[in-house]
Structure formats: structure tokens, C-alpha cells
Amino acid sequence: MEKNKKLVGAIILLIVIVAGVSFLAVNEYRKNKEMAEVFAVEKQEMENEYSAFATQYDELQVQINNDSLREKLESEKLKTQRLLEELRQVKTTNAAEILRLKKELKTVRAVLRTYVIQIDSLNRLNAALMEENQEVKSKYSAATAQINTLSQEKKNLNEKVSLAAQLDATNISALPMNKRGKKARKVKDVKKIAISFTIVKNITAETGNKTIYVRIAKPDNDILSKGNTTFAYEDREITYSIKKYIEYTGEEQSVTVYWDVEEYLPAGTYTIYIFADGNMIGQNSFTMK
């Protein structure tokens, strides 16, 4: 009799364990499925943008007679098509590769914008070419509208699960201050620079102590620093200006850091780069006259 009771108890315990493991497996499956949906939308959005850029390179070449510039455009188009093909081969579960190609997309976008401005300037006085340029812009707008539609779908999916656990810094601003702690109107009066930003809410990010690194680049791209201040980023050591420790809880958090001016600052545009957990999580620029 006692032996039967032990056997029944063991069976019940086994059932409870199996039920618990099944619940966790189902929950993990649902989470992975939702993240796969997010990455699928992200991937499709990027494919459309790469395709639009490749098409625009073709249409830009039609507008010019400069062989050297046309060769550069062709080279950039081939690069864009190569990245598009790489993206099409990537699985939606390969988050690292999708993020890499997303960074590449930012570079392609910036280079394309530079060429558009250059060619627009060269063709400013030619009415016929201006009409062709307008047609390019119309096609680009149509592609952008499609991308925006996919972005909205991605946003809806992001309400269920965050695309990644990487932190994100927004609302980045800088306030140059004089010796009285007021806003300095001229760069020669700046004694301190207050840099403020917001770490957005991210329920999938790891909580706890975080080290925030801020890099301030002068107009000549030289980084403001005090001594040998570096941190690891993409398999190398880079200089930072300010280091800040925070306790991250997963909720939105406002952060302000200060740079004490002890060196000569030239007038011009300065760029702020913010890093955490080995990733660049935000950037912005400000100008001092």
C-alpha cells in the first residue's frame, strides 16, 4: 500500500514537471514567433529601400554627361545591389546580420543623398533635366510611401515584442553654458557643456548597472577627452569624452552629463555619440558660434 502511494506521488510529480516544461516551451515558441515576424517586416522594409536606391542610381546616371561621375554612380549602384542580394539571403532569425545590413543601409542612404545634391546643383539651370529629376523624386516618394506603410506594420508588431534588447538614446541635446551657468551665446564664453538624453523604455533589455559613454567630436572630428580615456567598441579601443554609470530598470530614464571646458573650442558643428553595452545607441549634433 505504502509503495503504491509513493508510485502515485512520483507520477503526479512527473506530470507537474512535464506540464511546466511544456508551458515554458510554448511561451518561448510564441516569443520567437513574434520576434521572427518583427524581423521579417524589418527585412522587407530594408529590401524595398535597397531596391529603391538601386533604381535611383540608374535614373541619376541618365541625367549626367560626366563619365567619371557616372562610373562612381555605377559603382555605388553595384554595391547597393550586392547588399540587397546579401539581405535577400539572410534568414529572418539572423538578427546580427540584419542589424549589420541596416547599418550599411544608413551609409548607402547618406552617399546617395550626397550624389543627389551634387547632381541637382550641376543641373540647376537645365529645365529638361530638372523635369527628369522631379520624376526621380516622384518615384522615390512612391517607394518611401511603401516603406512607411511597412514601418507602420513594424511599429504595430513592436508593441508585442521589442526588436532587440539594445538600448536606444533619444532627445539628445546639448546646452553650452557660461561661468554663471546660463546659456552661452558665444563659443569663447563656454565653460561647461550639458548633454541630456533619454534612454527609452525597453522591456527586453537587461536591467542593472550600465556604463554610458559619450563622445563629443569637434568640427574637425577630433574627440574631446581628458587623458587616456578609451573603451572597447567593435574589436578596438576608441576615445570617449564622458563616462556615466546608471541603474537601468527597463523603464524610460533621463540622463544628463557635463563636459568641463578646459581647452580651446573652435566655432562650428559638434557631434555627440552615445554608447552602451558595446553599441552606439544614439547621436546628434549642435552648433556653437
Encode pLDDT of 164-174 as tens digits: 678 999 999 99
Cell 574627440 sits on residue: 223
CA-wise closest residue to 255 among 201, 208, 210, 196: 196
pLDDT value of residue 77: 79
Residues 224-233 have a mean pLDDT of 92
The predicted model scores a pTM of 0.45
CA-wise closest residue to 246 among 219, 206, 279, 215: 206
Whether 28 shows a pLDDT value over 50: the answer reads no
pLDDT value of residue 39: 62
Residues 73-90 have a mean pLDDT of 80
pLDDT value of residue 186: 93
Work out the pLDDT band at 56, boundaries 50, 70, 90.
Answer: confident
Q: Which three cell numbers stand for residue 230?
A: 578609451
pLDDT value of residue 16: 54
3-state class of 283 per DSSP?
strand
Q: How far is CA 197 from the centre of its chain?
A: 15
3-state class of 47 per DSSP?
helix
d(CA 143, CA 136): 11
Whether 55 shows a pLDDT value over 50: the answer reads yes
pLDDT value of residue 229: 92
Whether 21 shows a pLDDT value over 90: the answer reads no
